[in-house]
A and B are shown apart, each in its own frame.
Chain A
Amino acid sequence: MLKIENLTVSVSGKEVLTDINLEIKKGERMALLGPNGSGKTSLLMTIMGFSDYKITRGNIIFKGKRINDLSVDERARSGIGIMFQRPPTIRGVKLRQMVDVISKSGFDTDKEAGELNLKEFLDRDVSLGFSGGELKRSELFQLLAHSPQLSLFDEPESGVDLENVVLVGKIMNRILSKDKDSAALIITHTGYIFDYVKADEGCVLAGGRIHCLGDPRRILETVKEHGYERCIACERKRPKRKSRK
């Protein structure tokens, strides 16, 4: 579904991603781990096509087509969607209007808002004054309305209370069960979300480079025990992946 080849990216002249190679297959959920400032969000923003993130080398291929030169909205319409880590506030634009514009026919805005405990947020300006957990739910709500084939989740569970993590997991699963090919790239620091959303693969991003690639739970255990240094060191011992089509 998504193939990233030799991707190097800079932001305001500073290189934030270096020679990234990554593939997410149809139906696959990939966990993206890595220390703060390692470039995880930058990778998502680059895939989505945000103009601050300049590709200096390499390709992004989505459903067999090179999308380097597509605008953000063309990518969104071709099936890539994102849950932002830090969404901007859009003054005067109500969450309801937003979702009505995004969603396809058949989406019951009020019912789904109720599902996400966002009923009283429908008539508030998008993200304005939302708490951390509310922001996550508002982002998920919009992604649910968008229902993309490839979902990019940027720390879906961080700052979310225990009850709401269950809800977040449930909604993520709904987004990912839209069709059997739905794929995801999920950024997490804690991996708590894996109790609800199964991840097939994991990789570690550190210093703008991909290091380890393998079972996400094992990577997390290693990180918990030994820190990211161990992951970075084991780059050469990266397991060969059996290709499955």
Chain B
Amino acid sequence: MRTEKTKKKIPQIDIGSYKSETKRKSYLKDLEKVSADQRKNMLSAGVDPSHKNRSGTYIQMDHSVVYSKSLYPGLEVMSTTEALKKYKWLDNYFWKVLSVDADEFTEQAEAQPHHGYFLRALPGVKAVYPLQACLFINEDNIIQNVHNIIIAEEGADLQVITGCATASDVRRGLHIGISEFYVKKGAKLTFTMIHNWAEDVSVRPRTAALVEENGTFLSNYICLKPVKTIQMYPKAELVGQRAMARYNSILFALPGAHLDVGSRVILKAEGSRAEVVARAVSAGGDIIARGHLKGEAQGIKAHLECRGLMVSEKGLIHAIPELEGTIKGVDLSHEAAVGKIAKDEIEYLMARGLNEGEAQAAIIRGFMDTSIMGLPPELQKEIDVAISACEREVF
């Protein structure tokens, strides 16, 4: 539900105003070939071109797949274009949890697709290190439409870090990302997305997940860098008994940014559980933090939590939590709070010698602490590296 104020504020996007032709980028035999600038921007998005501590890598620049490789048996990494050729059955996974006519962006992605990644863990496969995927915008003023499919087959444990980034000289662009996730029986999928866009890039991810019996879907989203507008409302449908979904988002909005980000979980099967946690910091930008839990089965339990911190005179944080129960025996709850940094906390840090700016930065960083994400230690370390790289530029 949009209020009049927020409705007015979402800047409209003119899809036709972006270039749909780009130069072909050649395939990289050696990942070390990415430029220093590209490397830096990828690193800030959690993608390490040296693929150290990674089980595989997919990199797409503009409309070209420039790298795709799996380093772990049982994990598949390729473009969705290639995967569609390889697997006849994959057709059934396209536009299954999302509908193609949902809005102009889904329609655009179907009409003019530019690949996207296909990541899959075969049944029972568990890798320590995550797969990484990077969608990179290298040319100014272009549109990039991708369609991603991620599958964790029965009993598999798949971790994915995906980073979206731009080259430093890119100002304007439009990224449309369709992602469909499939978490099969007893599987676990940890998906961490870091956005590292440029100031005038608009982003429209359209994302949905289907989680089967005893499956676990963890989705983490981090957006710290400047961006013009992001509007997304990913959804997980828990269709198997005791399925679990957890969404964590950390949002930071600088002046001029408009983030409209939510998470929605539909609990359709008995005993399924969900948790949605958002931390939003406005340093002058606008953030609408949405959340929607819908309980449609017996014995479900779900909680929504949104905390917002205003650190500037300007900007806005609008938390919109929604709970919907359609049957008796559901347990849905939410808590939301929007506030400013407590003065006694700032002064406490100052009494230890930090100046006001340092104290404020420490508290904001603490507020955006990724340990709320409950990530495996290997992944946590990687995320922390990416976040500090972002922070160094922001603060």
Shortest Cβ gap from B258 to chain A (Å): 25
Q: Give the residues in chain B near A142, CB-CB below 8 Å.
A: 352
Please, what's the 1-or-0 string for B324-340, where 1 marks a CB less than 8 Å from any CB in chain A? 00000000000000000
Q: Give the residues in chain B near A125, CB-CB below 8 Å.
A: 366
Count residues on chain A whose CB falls below 8 Å from chain B CBs. 26
Chain A interface residues (CB < 8 Å from chain B): 48, 50-52, 71-73, 75-77, 81-82, 84, 87-88, 90-93, 97-98, 101-102, 125, 142, 146
Q: Are B342 and A92 in contact (CB under 8 A)?
A: no
Rounded to whole angstroms, the CA-CA distance of A73 and B350 in the bound complex is 5
Q: Are A76 and B353 in contact (CB under 8 A)?
A: yes
Q: Are B362 and A87 in contact (CB under 8 A)?
A: no
Q: Are B366 and A93 in contact (CB under 8 A)?
A: yes
Shortest Cβ gap from B20 to chain A (Å): 43
Shortest Cβ gap from A56 to chain B (Å): 20
Shortest Cβ gap from A131 to chain B (Å): 19
Shortest Cβ gap from A181 to chain B (Å): 19
**Interface residue from B343, B347, B351, B366 paired with A91 (Cβ < 8 Å):** B366
Q: Are A92 and B344 in contact (CB under 8 A)?
A: no
**Interface residue from A52, A82, A92, A102 paired with B366 (Cβ < 8 Å):** A92
Q: Give the residues in chain A near B344, CB-CB below 8 Å.
A: 50, 88
Q: Are B367 and A76 in contact (CB under 8 A)?
A: no
Rounded to whole angstroms, the CA-CA distance of A75 and B63 in the bound complex is 57
**Interface residue from A51, A75, A90, A146 paired with B348 (Cβ < 8 Å):** A90
Shortest Cβ gap from A46 to chain B (Å): 12
Q: How large is the interface on B (under 10, 10 to 19, 20 to 34, 35 or more residues)?
A: 20 to 34
B355 touches A (CB below 8 Å): yes
Main secondary structure on B side of the interface with A: helix
Q: Give the residues in chain B near A101, CB-CB below 8 Å.
A: 352-354, 358, 362
Q: Are A73 and B363 in contact (CB under 8 A)?
A: no
Q: Give the residues in chain B near A88, CB-CB below 8 Å.
A: 342, 344-345, 348
**Interface residue from B342, B343, B349 paired with A51 (Cβ < 8 Å):** B343
Rounded to whole angstroms, the CA-CA distance of A93 and B361 in the bound complex is 11
Rounded to whole angstroms, the CA-CA distance of A84 and B352 in the bound complex is 11
Q: Are A146 and B367 in contact (CB under 8 A)?
A: no
Rounded to whole angstroms, the CA-CA distance of A51 and B359 in the bound complex is 15
Q: Are B363 and A93 in contact (CB under 8 A)?
A: yes
B369 touches A (CB below 8 Å): yes
Q: Give the residues in chain A near B353, CB-CB below 8 Å.
A: 73, 76-77, 101-102, 146
Rounded to whole angstroms, the CA-CA distance of A7 and B351 in the bound complex is 21
B39 touches A (CB below 8 Å): no
Which one of A72, A75, A76, A98 has the highest number of Cβ atoms from chain B below 10 Å of its Cβ? Answer: A72
Q: Are B347 and A51 in contact (CB under 8 A)?
A: yes
Shortest Cβ gap from B343 to chain A (Å): 7
Please give 5 more A-B residue pairs, beta carbons under 8 A apart, in addition to A92-B367, A97-B362, A102-B353.
A71-B356, A75-B351, A91-B366, A92-B369, A125-B366
Q: Are B348 and A76 in contact (CB under 8 A)?
A: no
Q: Are B367 and A84 in contact (CB under 8 A)?
A: no
- Nearest first, the 6 closest Cβ-Cβ pairs linking A and B are A92-B366, A92-B369, A72-B350, A73-B350, A93-B366, A76-B353
Q: Give the residues in chain B near A76, CB-CB below 8 Å.
A: 350-353
**Interface residue from B342, B355, B356, B362 paired with A93 (Cβ < 8 Å):** B362
B171 touches A (CB below 8 Å): no
Shortest Cβ gap from A168 to chain B (Å): 19
Shortest Cβ gap from A146 to chain B (Å): 6
Rounded to whole angstroms, the CA-CA distance of A101 and B358 in the bound complex is 10
Please, what's the 1-or-0 string for B351-392, where 1 marks a CB less than 8 Å from any CB in chain A? 111111011001101111101000000000000000000000
Which one of B342, B350, B368 has the highest number of Cβ atoms from chain A below 10 Å of its Cβ? Answer: B350
Q: Give the residues in chain B near A75, CB-CB below 8 Å.
A: 351
Q: Are B368 and A48 in contact (CB under 8 A)?
A: no
Shortest Cβ gap from A176 to chain B (Å): 18
Rounded to whole angstroms, the CA-CA distance of A63 and B257 in the bound complex is 48
Q: Are A50 and B345 in contact (CB under 8 A)?
A: no
Which chain A residue shows the least CB distance to B348? A88
**Interface residue from A52, A72, A92, A97 paired with B351 (Cβ < 8 Å):** A72
Shortest Cβ gap from A90 to chain B (Å): 6
Q: Are B351 and A48 in contact (CB under 8 A)?
A: yes
Q: Are B365 and A84 in contact (CB under 8 A)?
A: no
Q: Give the residues in chain B near A73, CB-CB below 8 Å.
A: 350-351, 353-356, 359
